């Protein structure tokens, strides 16, 4: 069973940043208002995520590291309309199989927290441990038992950069939640909860730069079951690389060809060929219109009606630009 988890881990857990993505998504699914992330040695030595979410019930905690257990999906029908970021119950046992993992958690039903840890597939007994309501997951010595993977980890600086980018991308997806990232007690990023439009703009600027924000137009458009909000850059701020493209579908970040090509098509009349638009966009559609189960890392999706999504995006972007540059 340890081996099965290790193989599953190979699909999703590539580096410390992927560990943190899974842990932070769990914190967001738990309704956390604050997520604090700490790393050591580029996350290879330690990735720790502490949140103030709903916590894990004592009885579920005992299982969380040892076998596929998700509290988010009760039937195959639920899979049709996944509203949470996680749904496979795969991440924690996979991560635990390639590291030394400890979870401490307390739900509102208990006045004390409990912790459980796993070392090389050996899961400990539950132990009482002080914790406020919420969860802390600590992942130490990633890939210590999979030398082939450990070898592929890059220099501390590189892994830290991957982590910082990942935290920023997740921070863009949940404005109401505060995030902090620190490495060996040194702060690498602090994103206070953003509730007003001004605070949201401040967070976007913190992440994609003041210059992006100074050159961005705010978009808000809804039609035929699709809603698009966010910021599109002016054509003059287009980039040589597609490096400032942040797209979220129902709160989940995506890297999707259909989407980037639809947006680029919307710019075709106002931008030099070969340049790439910069954007931070949020699209909401009926979850039944999209299959998020298409890719283990959940970065790609399958649309029920891709043409409809493509047209909506392309036309919306084109219209916003035309209205601005008519």
Closest residue to ligand ADP, based on beta-carbon distance: 86
Smaller CB separation from ligand ADP, 117 or 234 = 117
> Shortest gap between Cβ of 20 and ligand ADP (angstroms)?
12
Distance of closest approach, residue 96 Cβ to ligand ADP, in angstroms: 9
Residue 98 near ligand ADP by CB under 6 A: no
116 to 135: interface string for ligand ADP, x by CB under 6 A = -------------------x
Contact at 8 Å (CB) between 197 and 52? no
If one counts every other C-beta atom within 10 angstroms of the C-beta of residue 240, the result is 8
Stretch that binds ligand ADP, among 89-97, 138-146, 165-173, 249-257 (CB under 6 A): 89-97
**Per CB under 5 A, does 91 bind Mg ion?**
yes
The percent helix, strand, coil of the chain (3-state, each to 5) is 40, 25, 35
User: Which H or E element spans position 317?
Assistant: helix 306-325
Judged by CB under 6 A, which of 12, 19, 39, 92 binds ligand ADP? Answer: 92
CA torsion 135-139-84-251 (nearest 10°) is 110
Q: Which is nearer to ligand ADP, 27 or 97 (CB)?
A: 27
Cβ closest to ligand ADP, residue 72 vs residue 140: 72
Return the one option of ligand ADP, Mg ion, none that residue 42 interacts with (CB less than 5 to 8 A, by type): none
Q: Which two tokens stand for residue 204?
A: 């976007």
* Smallest distance, ligand ADP to C-beta of residue 159, A: 21
Q: How many residues lie near ligand ADP (CB under 6 A)?
A: 22
Among candidates 94, 119, 89, which has minimal Cα distance to 13?
A: 94
Asked if 26 touches ligand ADP (CB under 6 A), the answer is yes
Q: Report in angstroms how near the CB of residue 250 gets to ligand ADP at its nearest.
A: 16
Is 94 in contact with 66 (CB distance < 8 Å)?
no
Residue 136 neighbours by CB under 8 Å, 6+ apart: 48, 49, 50, 51, 103, 104, 105
- Residue selected from 34, 45, 72, 202 as contacting ligand ADP according to rule CB under 6 A: 72
Closest to 210 (Cα-Cα) out of 278, 281, 264, 267: 278
């Amino acid at each position: 069973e340890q081996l099965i988890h290790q193989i599953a881990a190979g699909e999703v857990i590539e580096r410390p940043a992927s560990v943190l993505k899974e842990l932070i998504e769990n914190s967001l699914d738990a309704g956390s208002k604050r997520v604090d992330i700490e790393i050591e040695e580029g996350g290879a030595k330690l990735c720790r995520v502490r949140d103030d979410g709903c916590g894990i019930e004592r009885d579920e905690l005992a299982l969380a590291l040892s076998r596929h257990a998700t509290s988010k999906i009760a039937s195959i029908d639920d899979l049709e309309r996944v509203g949470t970021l996680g749904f496979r119950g795969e991440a924690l046992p996979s991560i635990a199989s390639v590291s030394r993992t400890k979870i401490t958690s307390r739900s509102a039903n208990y006045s004390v927290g409990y912790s459980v840890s796993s070392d090389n597939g050996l899961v400990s007994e539950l132990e009482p441990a002080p914790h406020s309501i919420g969860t802390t997951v600590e992942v130490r010595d990633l890939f210590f038992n999979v030398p082939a993977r450990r070898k592929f980890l890059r220099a501390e600086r590189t892994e830290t950069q991957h982590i910082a980018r990942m935290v920023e991308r997740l921070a863009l997806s949940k404005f109401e939640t505060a995030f902090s990232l620190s490495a060996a007690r040194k702060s690498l990023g602090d994103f206070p909860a953003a509730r007003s439009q001004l605070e949201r703009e401040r967070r976007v600027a913190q992440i994609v730069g003041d210059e992006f924000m100074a050159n961005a137009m705010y978009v808000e458009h809804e039609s035929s079951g699709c809603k698009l909000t966010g910021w599109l850059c002016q054509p003059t701020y287009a980039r040589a690389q597609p490096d400032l493209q942040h797209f979220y579908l129902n709160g989940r970040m995506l890297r999707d060809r259909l989407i980037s090509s639809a947006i680029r098509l919307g710019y075709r009349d106002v931008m030099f060929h070969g340049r790439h638009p910069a954007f931070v966009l949020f699209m909401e559609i009926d979850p039944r219109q999209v299959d998020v189960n298409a890719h283990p890392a959940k970065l790609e999706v399958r649309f029920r009606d891709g043409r409809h999504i493509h047209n909506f995006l392309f036309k919306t972007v084109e219209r916003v630009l035309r209205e601005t540059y008519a």
